[in-house]
């Protein structure tokens, strides 16, 4: 029995979460008009141990392989925090929610990488996911924007046919 391969059932979930988070953050930063600042910070992160230096800006990386996503999970909270610093006091609550959401999802990702789980690690996973759901509304504007855009495009096509 010890020779059987064990599949990592959480692997597709973890990779999907990182992909979703990366897209949400990119859209959030674009809507806040901080893409240039974020790209400059992203490219300035030095190589360290197994982490490679970045040669493409954050928004130029459209396809991420698994290794890049894992590396991104180490850089992302720090880069996002630095990008969001220096904002106006009116924006602080939104930005703090964005940072909390990023940290909670990445915490879940890190705990989900454990080889085995017990009651304590499962409660950590549950806590991280609960905090993510508490703060995820900050990124829901991305989804609302896409829905509204799709509806506007459909109406535009109907009007153009008339």
Residue pLDDT, tens place only, 39-79: 888 788 777 666 666 677 766 766 666 677 777 777 777 77
The span from the first CA to the last CA of the chain, in angstroms, equals: 68
pLDDT score recorded for residue 122: 93
Indicate if the pLDDT at residue 155 is higher than 90.
Answer: no
Most confident of 11-25, 127-141, 146-160: 127-141
pLDDT score recorded for residue 72: 73
Indicate if the pLDDT at residue 2 is higher than 60.
Answer: no
Entry pTM:
0.67
pLDDT score recorded for residue 85: 72
CA 157 vs CA 22, 73, 145, 146, 149: distances in Å: 31, 41, 18, 17, 12
pLDDT score recorded for residue 145: 59
Q: Where are the alpha helices (DSSP H) in the chain?
A: 11-31, 35-44, 66-84, 92-112, 119-135, 137-161
Average pLDDT, the chain: 76
Q: Dihedral of CA 158/160/161/162: which sign?
A: positive
What distance in Å separates the CA atoms of residue 29 and residue 147, rounded to the nearest whole number? 19
The model's confidence at residue 118, banded by pLDDT at 50, 70 and 90, is: very high
CB environment 13-22: b (16+ within 10 A), e (fewer):
ebeebbeebb
């Amino acid at each position: 029995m010890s020779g059987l391969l064990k599949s990592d059932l959480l692997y597709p979930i973890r990779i999907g979460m990182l992909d979703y988070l990366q897209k949400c953050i990119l859209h959030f930063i674009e809507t806040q008009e901080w893409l240039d600042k974020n790209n400059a910070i992203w490219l300035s992160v030095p190589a360290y141990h197994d982490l490679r230096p970045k040669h493409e800006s954050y928004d130029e990386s459209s396809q991420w392989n698994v290794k890049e996503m894992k590396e991104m999970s180490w850089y992302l909270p720090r880069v996002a925090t630095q990008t969001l610093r220096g904002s106006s006091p009116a924006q602080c609550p939104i930005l703090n929610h964005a940072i909390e959401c990023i940290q909670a999802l990445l915490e879940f990702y890190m705990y989900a990488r454990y080889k085995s789980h017990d009651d304590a690690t499962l409660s950590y996973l549950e806590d991280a996911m609960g905090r993510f759901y508490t703060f995820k509304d900050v990124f829901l504007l991305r989804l609302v924007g896409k829905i509204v855009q799709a509806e506007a495009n459909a109406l535009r096509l109907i009007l153009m046919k008339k």
